[in-house]
Amino acid sequence: MVLVENNVRVAVYDLNPNGKKAVVMIHGWPLAGEIFEYQQEMLVNNGYRVVTIDLRGFGNSDVTADGYTYDQFAIDLFHIVRNLNLNNFILAGFSMGGGIALRYMNLCNGYGVNKLCLLGAAAPSFTRRPGFPYGVTPESVNQLIMQAAADRADLCANFSRRLLNTQHSDAIKDWFGKIALQASGIGTILAAYSLRDEDCRPDMSSVHVPTGIFHGQKDVIVPFELGVLQHETIPHSDFYPFENSGHAIFYDELPLFNQLFLEFLEK
């Protein structure tokens, strides 16, 4: 556990702390750092230090009554980075975690980051808004919020089955659903408000490090067009489209993802 502001305890998992370089991985809504299990071994075997985090209100971290904004998540990350004395590290954010990574690059001046990975990132904006006709409708997120408030177990079960496009066992789908259900109810709901309302367009211009954009072409949660926009907006970024992947870009085509992810890290 790492203490952040107001003595909130955030669960941090630090594998191979003497590795050649750190990769810090931020999960998406409504999941936890456990989702990166199938990257951890690969990265450690290639000499990397791997730091995964359960955002406040998710996984094993403390549940708070508020603080589920991208600003607060980014500040929590800054405290973790300072606590672990991380520098020249690679920051990877999945889905909502991609938006948080972009906010960290802006709000915290990308402190310590020398390479950025956006994995199915919910950015520049997850929802459509004036001047931005991309992403999903705010109403669709409102439906998720209402479902989380009425039957979160069903939300988690359904969400886990929408993560993947290719054929996988029911057991792995249930695993994702179990991870989602471990989140707090209040964290699930309030972070969904952030997903709906946060606008990362001003954060995009703060990215001045090599960036890899990984996005599934069959993503039914964060539309593929958002990955295209990220690539068009972030100068000199590398784009890795996955023809057969849904939202869980890190698992749907697992061997291919791990291969290309590692290739980008070692460029």
Q: What are phi and psi of 54, to 5 degrees?
A: -95, 115
Would you say 261 and 41 are in contact if contact means Cβ atoms under 8 Å apart? no
Can you tell me the distance from the alpha carbon of 248 to that of 245, in angstroms, rounded to the nearest whole number? Answer: 7
Tokens 């009425």 -> residue: 150
Token pair of 169, please?
Answer: 């066992």
Q: How far is CA 32 from CA 54, 136, 167, 184, in A?
A: 5, 23, 23, 11
Residues with Cβ within 8 Å of 130's Cβ and at least 6 positions away in sequence, in order, are: none
Conformation bin of residue 95: beta by default, left when phi > 0, alpha when psi is -120 to 50: left
- The residues annotated with a catalytic role in the active site are 95, 219, 247
Strand partners, 99: none
